[in-house]
Amino acid sequence: MIHREGYTIIAGSLVLVGVLGWVVNHYLADYKILSWGLYALLLVFLVLIVQFFRNPTRHTVIDASTVIAPADGKVVIIEDVEEPEYFKGKRLQISIFMSPLNVHVNRNPVSGIVKYFKYHPGKYLVAWHPKSSTLNERTTLVVENEAGIPVLYRQIAGAVARRIRWYVKEGDSVTQGAEYGFIKFGSRIDIFLPVGTEVKVKLEEKVWGGETVIAKFN
């Protein structure tokens, strides 16, 4: 299944590949090795664009005691930090880095009510840069679950990503594992939990959005 965020880009890429293919066929047809090499490059380009916007079905086990990975990727941070925007205090941070080859659909790690949402325009440092969470283009979303525990999760644009999409607003009721946003072309998501929350993943571990349990509330 292809995500709706990719329809326009994929259509434009098809047109571009078609035009370039015609140019190669028209002007380079006599250069067999070169022309077939260019055809192969165009095909690889198109495949990469299409696979980036794939939207596989995920099966979430709804559980108010768990925190589900909000995206596919690799766990790059697990540490207690100061969260300055909303909590203004110490929280457990778990960060997931999404490479351009990962699925970039973003999913709610918990069910609950959206208590806070804010979009921040910003820079485009590489997503693993320590200051990307405070300087890059990003969104901040806080959901309070049925036990009254607030969970903050933040979409962060990377060096290539320039488009963050979100489909929620303050006051909305959201469901664990349901789609809430999308980031195009490489990015990161930070999750902030109460200090002492049991972490169920390790650094460098690969996780799958909507399915992998990354933490469990005490």
| pLDDT tens digits, one per residue of 60-103 | 999 999 999 999 999 999 999 999 999 999 999 999 999 888 88
State whether 29 and 105 are in the same domain.
no
pLDDT tens sequence for the chain (218 residues):
888 888 998 999 999 999 999 999 888 888 889 999 999 999 999 998 888 888 899 999 999 999 999 999 999 999 999 999 999 999 999 999 998 888 889 999 999 999 999 999 876 665 555 555 666 788 999 999 999 999 999 999 876 656 789 999 999 999 999 999 998 766 889 999 999 999 999 999 999 999 999 999 98
Q: Alpha helices, DSSP H only, in the chain?
A: 7-27, 32-52, 132-135
Q: In degrees rounded to 5, what are phi and psi of residue 167?
A: -130, 25
Tokens 């490059």 sit at which residue?
41
Sign, CA dihedral 74-72-96-185, equals positive
State whether 42 and 95 are in the same domain.
no
State whether 156 and 211 are in the same domain.
yes
Q: Which of 111, 132, 133, 187 is catalytic?
A: 187
How many domains in the chain?
A: 2
Q: What's the pTM?
A: 0.86
The reply to whether 111 belongs to the active site is no
Q: Yes or no: say if 161 and 187 are a contact pair by the CB < 8 Å rule.
A: yes
**Which percentage of the chain shows pLDDT scores above 90?**
67
State whether 162 and 114 are in the same domain.
yes
> What CATH number should be reported for the domain holding residue 193?
2.70.70.10
State whether 17 and 107 are in the same domain.
no
Q: What is the CA radius of gyration of the chain?
A: 20
